[in-house]
Amino acid sequence: MLGYLDFVPQQRFQRTLALSPNGRLVAYSSHASGHYDLWVVPVAGGEPRRVAGFDNRTVRQFAWTPSGNQLVFTADENGDEQFRIYMVALHGGEPTEVSSGPDCQRILAESPFDPTGRFLAYTANDRDPAAQDLIVHDLMSDELRRFAPPEGVAFEAVSLSPDGRWLLSTGFRSNTDIAVYLTDLNDPDVKPACVTSALGEGVFEPGAWAPDSSGFHLLTDHWSDFTAAAFYDLAAKSLHAIADPNWDVETLDVAAGVRIWSVNEGGRSRLHAERNGSPLPLPDIPPGVISTLSLAPDASFAVLLIDSAARPAELAVLDMAQHDFRYLTDTRPAALRVINPIVPELITYPARDGRDVHALLYRPDSPGPHPVLLSVHGGPEAQERPIYARSGLYQHLLHQGIAILAPNAAGSTGYGTAHQKLIYRDWGGIDLDDLDHGIRYLQTLGWADTSRLAVMGASYGGFAALSCLARLPYSWTAGVSICGPSNLVTLAKASPPTWKTFVATVLGDPDTCAEQLLERSPVTHADGITAPLFVIQGAHDPRVPQAESDQIVTRLRERGVEVRYDIYPDEGHGFTNRANELKAYEAISAFLYAHLINIGADNPEALTVG
């Protein structure tokens, strides 16, 4: 039987890319070297080249200077999300740090430079840990121009306009309350102005500017429960729709009279384009999920990052001129060259109040009945989608005969704002009920063996996994929690200072809602957990501190429950070191196999209590 490592992609990518100003090179962040470094590859094809990287830092964001001779990028240490900013020459040399002051959360604008390359826009909480300021850094004089946010708003710089006059940014309160701010840099006494305040609360996420700086494109749910593509006219102060489907528009780029965007249709990405207002035919692309795309300056092609259940994430080129699609990378592991990967079925199952829950159901191609893993995504404002999940872990479990149900329960994105908001200040309530209905659905399937049932999740998904084990009345066989919160009160109090408004809106204020938060916390119901548990935690996690995992592990071990606890001293929220990631997922696979398939066998490696 193929081992887990046979399913591991040759490399993974951060979910962003940047096309050089001349359209010849694509910059990306990959852990091909063992850590996430900055790489470039020719659009025409050829060997990738490493431009910059560190042994203990992860390259997260990056952008080209207008000349195309340098790149700017952010990097944090061991996943601590305290980002510093560096510049590096395209053709060699050591990175030079351009940020100053203490470690903090520095976030590059998506298009951070003015046309001359002199001014760099980003966001930082260096002045006040609880406030994300907008900063325009004069790289010639090293002076910083700073703009503080209003109370309860977290700023994030987006771009400088093509004429260099306007700084475009967002004001974040929650994932469903994002406003647009404009700052006139020609006015020495200006304050950022909210240009969407008259449109009410909602999602307004700005993107590409018009070439003449007359306005900008954006994604918004202003007109419906779903996210549309739109254009905001500065002079008229008006907003009009470009594409308004009954699904979410997710990515949008503009160049040379062409607009191209992707729509999340039930989890899969569908591409659409127009030239000067008329539909533009596009080459066929493999079914999957497009996480980012960028148009060439002349709009003759686009580069994108595409992921699918049958093939790991890849850089690819969509050639509009030749009407062709081609991959720039090939990350396929050995296993995919000898077996056919399992593609999930997109299903719905009934839940409370007449709602339907969308889910991905993976069924092994071997004879059943099959044990089932309930896999819960993070967020909770995220979406389980048909991708090559967890570096091949899904496909390896399927190869071993373990089925997977991956629901998009209340709180998930992709199915409208109302569905997303259902979980606000109700963690462990309606979402847990949706997961309960998922198990009931499994019980109606003749091939699913729900007497062998496990649950797994990371971050919010770890909280959900612990909640399932503690509060749902099933004979759970095993559970896996990766950086999962166990106490919602301590989680809320320990959250990053800039998240205060977000936490109060989405989770609940730990001062005024402590009783409900504690009642919904897995640690409160820890006596209900009897199944063997595998807990994984990064020691530098700034979002879910190690104390969250410590609490649940201590409570369970006091009762003699089998717990394996692996702490990674050089990781934060998730994995940035490839060796750590592979070690963890291989251990998870062995743990689930031991408890779901090879029950009772002598497997000390899988059952080690760490």
For residue 162, the one-letter residue type is P
Average pLDDT (219-226) is 94
Average pLDDT (224-253) is 95
> Mean pLDDT of all residues in the chain?
93
* Whole-structure pTM value: 0.90
Kindly report, residue by residue over 544-590, the tens digit of the pLDDT: 999 999 999 999 999 999 999 999 999 999 888 889 999 999 999 99
Distance separating alpha carbons of residues 496 and 237, to the nearest angstrom:
35
Burial label for 49, CB within 10 Å (0-12, 13-18, 19+), is: middle
Kindly report, residue by residue over 168-199, the tens digit of the pLDDT: 999 998 888 999 999 999 999 999 999 999 99
Average pLDDT (54-77) is 93
pLDDT-based confidence at 54, cuts 50/70/90? confident
**Whole-number percent of the chain with pLDDT over 70:** 98
Q: Which of 70-74, 276-280, 358-362 has the lowest mean pLDDT?
A: 276-280
**Whole-number percent of the chain with pLDDT over 90:** 84
Kindly report, residue by residue over 127-170, the tens digit of the pLDDT: 998 899 999 999 999 999 999 999 889 999 999 999 999 999 99
For residue 387, pLDDT beyond 80: yes
pLDDT score of 600: 55
The C-alpha torsion from 83 through 87 and 91 to 92, rounded to 10°, is -70
pLDDT score of 93: 85
Total number of residues shown for the chain: 610
Kindly report, residue by residue over 425-449, the tens digit of the pLDDT: 999 999 999 999 999 999 999 999 9
For residue 78, pLDDT beyond 80: no
Listed ranges 75-84, 541-550, 585-594, 595-604; the one with the highest mean pLDDT = 585-594
Distance separating alpha carbons of residues 57 and 423, to the nearest angstrom:
34
Going along the chain from its start, the domains and CATH numbers come out as 342-489+527-599 (3.40.50.1820)
For residue 605, pLDDT beyond 50: no
For residue 31, pLDDT beyond 60: yes
The string of DSSP letters for 107-144 reads EEEEEEE-TTS-EEEEEEEEEETTEEEEEEEETTT--E
User: Strands 370-376, 448-458: parallel, antiparallel or unpaired by DSSP?
Assistant: parallel
Distance separating alpha carbons of residues 529 and 484, to the nearest angstrom:
15
Which residues face 254 on adjacent strands? 259
Average pLDDT (81-94) is 91
Contact between 318 and 43 under an 8 Å Cβ cutoff? The reply is: no
Kindly report, residue by residue over 323-363, the tens digit of the pLDDT: 999 999 999 999 999 999 999 999 999 999 899 999 999 99
Read off the DSSP letter of residue 340: P
Closest CA to 587 of 393, 331, 452, 398: 393
Kindly report, residue by residue over 534-557, the tens digit of the pLDDT: 999 999 988 899 999 999 999 999
pLDDT score of 577: 85
Contact between 348 and 358 under an 8 Å Cβ cutoff? The reply is: yes
The C-alpha torsion from 388 through 391 and 395 to 397, rounded to 10°, is -140
Peptide bond into 286 cis (omega under 30): no
Distance separating alpha carbons of residues 315 and 26, to the nearest angstrom:
9
Peptide bond into 369 cis (omega under 30): yes
